[in-house]
Structure 1
Amino acid sequence: MTQTVPRASATATPADALAAGIGFLRREQDRAGWWKGELATNVTMDAEDLLLRHFLGILTPQAAEESARWIRSQQRADGTWATFPGGPADLSTTVEAFVALRLAGDPADAPWLTPSAEFIRDQGGIEAARVFTRIWLALVGQWSWDDLPNLPPELVFLPSWFPLNVYDFACWARQTIVPLTVVSTLRPVRPLPFDVAELRTGKRPPKTRTPWTWDGMFQNLDTALHAYAKLPFNPIRKAALKQAAEWILARQEADGSWGGIQPPWVYSILALHLLGYPLDHPAVKAGIAGLDGFTIREETDQGWLRRLEACQSPVWDTALAMTALLDAGVSAGDEMLVRATDWLLGEEIRVPGDWTVRRPSLAPGGFAFEFANDGYPDTDDTAEVVLALRRMGKPDHLRIRGAVDRSVAWLEGMQSRDGGWGAFDADNTQVLTTKLSFCDFGAVIDPPSADVTAHVVEMLAAEGKTGTRECRRGVQWLLDHQEDDGSWFGRWGANYVYGTGAVVPALTAAGIPRSSPRVRRAVRWLAEHQNADGGWGEDLRSYRDREWAGRGDSTPSQTAWALLALLAAGERESEVVTRGVEWLCARQRPDGGWDEDKHTGTGFPGDFYLSYHLYRVVFPLSALGRYVRGGS
């Protein structure tokens, strides 16, 4: 697939593009030293925000009107909503958007909602929506709690060695599940001032599965848990609810969030509220106020738009921006890099978190993704921060070296048994959790991935640790997980282009020869998937349909990922690289940035996607810098 985009500057050279890109980042840096691009996603964030505020009794007409205006602006021509721009219609997203617009005052027979309702019914109605959508419907009286999976709060009592304990789930999942056990146990209802009967089909739920299958066993378990929940006197449950509240409160971050991400955040607010914590309780008040800090308001010709970020990425963006600027030739002594270094050093995490459940003797270290997420440093951010900081020098050499050394030690200790690295936890690979009936949306475990493992391996190589056991095992993991066609799967970015763009530079940095058959296969795959316009792109549908692998409209970030791999493989003089560089130069905006209307970041493969607004700048700048300056 190709995309026709008018050239912004037909005469721009790579050196010109570098200078303009450096200027763009210089202007975008916050005075405190960090960079942060918007993190955009789909309208479920905004729909659920309206439903939350309705439930808590704090929804204002202004918030409803501005959010509704944003939700309408994202509607597809056929009246539906998708999970990413240009993607297919999605049932659950359309259900949540429809209900939110009705809550904001849109009539059911509005011309823009009539086709939405028709689509929902054609797809099976709200009966076919995902579990999390039906939980929101139950909260507002449009679905029965009896027809939802039961989540017992007694889960918090299970020891870490017991199957299905909360630490078997990925950090984002466990922080969502614990508060949901409270919500689903207390089964609250705050009715909407309308009904959504037009979204129902009346179809009966599926029959019980065969008992000896996983689905059947968990369905029978769910039936037993529903019966257990109806016991008239249950002191164990009372104690479990109290323990769940303490577990939730212990994990609230300084900015009021939980994990710095929307799902655990909103469910934790709901859980505490239902347990009797008033809206002016410090924890609840901070949680609600923190959501406002994730809210973006934008003035347009149609009026103010209001949208919610699912997360914020200042540490990640700052590390990538520093690397891009250094690749582009900016001196390590430049004032903006010095300020960024100082800010990053202040973000180092020196306290234990949930990761200690699997690594109890490992000393704290590393960096998180967000402004405030001390409980959950992650290996991906930590590796990228080290790659940036280690290139900085005086006057903070000793301070930098201390943070780098602690981070490297932490990363080495977070290696999983199979040699790879997951993002937040080690050995978080218990697939039994994925069989639970409420796990029908998004990844719930955090196994090693090629992109994260590659970033750690690249960092270890930069630190001169290619001969260590950790690095050798990481390299072998990457070699073992190469796809038959020569690419690598990308867990946190779209998709095979991202995975391949991360792995090839890591392998060559770790000593795998550029002439290696593994590297040549990757080069061939990238060359075969270059678009006719010279760029690269990959549609997010590749997560569900392998036919989309490496296919999609060209984007700046994905083109840069491909170039980073090709440059690392020694392809600087090839026509493939030349055409890719020309594509980037020709499409740079006059202000030094690039436009990118696609989502190229991944939250949950196949279900939830993101657009990192700084990706369209930092990765092209790195690629062009390495091209111009001969680096890899």
Structure 2
Amino acid sequence: MFLLVGVVVAWYVTKTPIPDAYATEIKNYLTARAHPKDGGWGLHIEGESTVLGTAMNYTVLRLVGVDPEEPLMVKARATLHKLGGAVNSPHWGKFWLAVLGVVEWDIVNPVPPEIWLLPDWVPIAPWRWWIHIRQVFLPMGYIYSKRWSCEETDEIRGLKEELFVTPHAEINWASHRNSIAPIDNYNPKSWLLNTVNWVLVNVYNPYLRFNFIKERGEQWTSELVDMEDANTDYAGLAPVNSPMNMLVCYIRDGPDAFSVRRHRERLEEFLWVKDEGMLCNGTNGVQCWDTAFAILAVVESGLHDKERWRPMLLKALQYLERQQIRENCKDQEKCYRQPRKGGWPFSNKDQGYGVSDCISEALKAVILLQKTEGYPQLLEDQRIFDAVDTLLLYQNDNGAVSSYEQRRGSEYLELLNAAEVFGRIMVEYDYPECTTACVTVLSLFRKHWPEYRTDDINLFIKRATNWIKGYQRPDGSWYGSWGICFTYAGMFALQSMAAIGENYSNSKIAKRGCDFLISKQREDGGWSESYRVRKHH
């Protein structure tokens, strides 16, 4: 529930017309997803009302033309005021309000682009951060440094009156840099980050931030934004950094530039209309991911060799063939990108970010179909090998596998986590889901190509499954991050055990994992789990 604001603010400040149909469906969706009791919005559709969710989605509604006196708005505004108003928004919310000119930039904790000038060997250098956090703070730093805000409009004047408890003219913005509602403060800033922010605001910015340093930081972040745009055809990694990149191009290149026009076109891909209205997805689709799993489900059911389903599966195979990433990024080392040749993304080839489990599941689907009689060999062996070569680069030093990249930095970087609403986002972490995806596809691969990088693959599988075993909790479960949560991770981890021949009858690890899942089975035979379990572990 925090994604739509970036797209709508980017439209608004770049004077991109918002079609009436879009405005209607956005209103319909946010109306349907308002909290049934207090009328606010949370971080996600199941969450309690927060300042971030309520202030941002209220702002969205005002920007698409909703009257502030509509009952929906009155109720949401009352909840926002009970939470202390928009001055209690976390960092990202304050950033977007500063872009709109609803708040002054003094309320935003510093995001100096000069941090991108740090040498690569520095332990806190941004190239070591998790890809999502670094690609957000990259354009954010440029915009923060420019202290750019759009011109005042009637809607912005209205928001200045509506979002705050104290009259707008009386607010001391700098005093609210660290103000945040308790409900939003999921991951409080560390003492170290608070100290760094104080030094930046009170010492560095006024006395040490010389223009040549500032301009070098802006120039380098601008170049890195251009590299991200070039490597994704202006789609960006996700709908948080994509509208920010669009705004960088608007500030730098002007409203009529190709970069702005192309960003405007690509933003459409993040939008989705369902029965409740128009929302913003977390990616520009799940095409490769869902296609791979659909193939795997049909193969598992034994229907892949039935003539009736062959045309459907052939189209799916052809899609995965087209979406394989055939080359590494331009300026790969310069823009800190993981090698991707031979990989598959979560969504489509344009987006261009390989992910360990997306590569694994797509490759698994391709191998299973191409090794079934009657299916064409659309991917020759070398393209299969390219995928394996890329996949082997994802393993961390402890044997586990992360998502977008091999881990680059220490978990101590969490001391610099400025997002407040998210924890464990500064570096890549170890995931039983991603690790298992790699184990299962490499196990399948070595059955068909036993001579290719045999030692490397065997070692990868051994180290990965040893990590899976060591990561099991005393109750037999595994903690999952990409699904909810123990059920999801257990399902994957047990596949790792099966891949190396360990099962309920011959493995204590597998037996404990199975017993855990059986203990959670519901009376109707199914399983369920609340997202809240993740908040307590």
If the TM-score is normalised by the length of the shorter chain, which range does it land in?
A: 0.7 to 0.9
Is the contact made by 1:120 and 1:126 (CA closer than 8 Å) also made in structure 2? Answer: yes
Is the contact made by 2:3 and 2:280 (CA closer than 8 Å) also made in structure 1? Answer: yes
Q: Which amino acid aligns with 1:520?
A: K
**2:173 counterpart of 1:193:** no
Decide which moves more: 76-85 or 239-248.
76-85
**2:96 counterpart of 1:136:** yes
Could you tell me which of 238, 243, 262 is aligned with 1:261?
238
Q: Work out the percentage of aligned pairs sharing the same amino acid.
A: 20
Is the contact made by 1:131 and 1:148 (CA closer than 8 Å) also made in structure 2? Answer: yes
**Residue 190 of structure 2: aligned partner:** 215
Is the contact made by 1:386 and 1:407 (CA closer than 8 Å) also made in structure 2? Answer: yes
User: Structure 2, unaligned stretches of length 5 or more?
Assistant: 180-187, 447-453
1:360 and 1:306 mapped to 2: Cα distance?
32
Decide which moves more: 151-160 or 262-271.
151-160
**Count of residues in Structure 1 that have an aligned counterpart in Structure 2:** 495
Q: How does 1:213-292 map to 2 (within 5 A)?
A: 215-226=190-201, 227-230=203-206, 234-252=211-229, 256-275=233-252, 277-292=253-268
Q: Normalization by structure 1: what TM-score?
A: 0.72
**Residue 66 of structure 1: aligned partner:** 25
- Deviation at 1:267? 0.8
Is the contact made by 1:351 and 1:374 (CA closer than 8 Å) also made in structure 2? Answer: no
Could you tell me which of 38, 56, 61 is aligned with 1:96?
56
Change (3 A) 1:331 1:411: same
Deviations 1:386-436 (A, max 9, x none): 211111226543734332222122212221111111111112342233222
2:147 and 2:335 mapped to 1: Cα distance?
33
1:395 and 1:155 mapped to 2: Cα distance?
52
Change (3 A) 1:360 1:395: same
- Deviation at 1:259? 3.6
Q: Normalization by structure 2: what TM-score?
A: 0.84
Q: Which has the higher helix share?
A: 2
Could you tell me which of 515, 518, 531 is aligned with 1:527?
518
Change (3 A) 1:331 1:298: closer
1:397 and 1:456 mapped to 2: Cα distance?
22
- Deviation at 1:49? 2.3
**Residue 417 of structure 1: aligned partner:** 397
Q: Which amino acid aligns with 1:545?
A: H
| SS of 1:368 mapped into structure 2 | coil
Q: Which amino acid aligns with 2:432?
A: A
Could you tell me which of 461, 472, 486 is aligned with 2:476?
486
- Deviation at 1:104? 3.0
Could you tell me which of 411, 432, 436 is aligned with 1:454?
436
| SS of 2:193 mapped into structure 1 | helix
| SS of 2:225 mapped into structure 1 | helix
Deviations 1:307-327 (A, max 9, x none): 332311111111111111111
2:33 and 2:353 mapped to 1: Cα distance?
32
1:169 and 1:438 mapped to 2: Cα distance?
12
2:414 and 2:338 mapped to 1: Cα distance?
28
| SS of 1:296 mapped into structure 2 | strand
Choose between structure 1 and 2 for higher RCO, CA contacts under 8 A separated by at least 6 residues: 1
**2:10 counterpart of 1:52:** yes
**Residue 613 of structure 1: aligned partner:** none
1:355 and 1:458 mapped to 2: Cα distance?
28
Deviations 1:135-168 (A, max 9, x none): 1111122222112121111222223221222211
Deviations 1:196-232 (A, max 9, x none): 4454355964889xxxx98333323223333534568
Is the contact made by 1:449 and 1:491 (CA closer than 8 Å) also made in structure 2? Answer: yes
Q: How does 1:553-592 map to 2 (within 5 A)?
A: none
Change (3 A) 1:395 1:107: closer
User: Structure 1, unaligned stretches of length 5 or more?
Assistant: 1-41, 547-632
Could you tell me which of 430, 433, 437 is aligned with 2:410?
430
Q: How does 1:356-371 map to 2 (within 5 A)?
A: 364-371=341-348
- Cα RMSD, aligned residues only: 3.0
Deviations 1:67-118 (A, max 9, x none): 2232112212121223444443333111111122233333434322233223
1:460 and 1:221 mapped to 2: Cα distance?
44
Q: Which amino acid aligns with 1:410?
A: T
